[in-house]
Amino acid sequence: MRRLTCTPLALNAAVASLRTLYSAQVEDHYNHPRNVGKLDKTDPNVGTGLRGAPECGDMTQMQVKVNPDTGIIEDVKFKAFGCGSAIAASSYASQAIRGKTLSEALELTNRQIAQELSLPPVKLHCSMLAQETIQAAVENYLSKNPSLKSKVQKKQTKDASTPLN
> Any idea which residues carry the catalytic annotation?
56, 126
Residue 74's closest CA among 64, 83, 84? 64
Give the pairing of strands 46-53 and 73-81. unpaired
Contacts of range 144-151, beta carbons closer than 8 Å, 24 or more positions apart: 144/44, 144/47, 145/44, 145/45, 145/68, 148/71, 148/102, 151/71, 151/103
Q: Distance (Å, rounded) from C-alpha 2 to C-alpha 111?
A: 47
What are residue 25's DSSP bridge partners?
A: none
Nearest partner of 148 among 90, 48, 82, 72, judged by Cα = 72
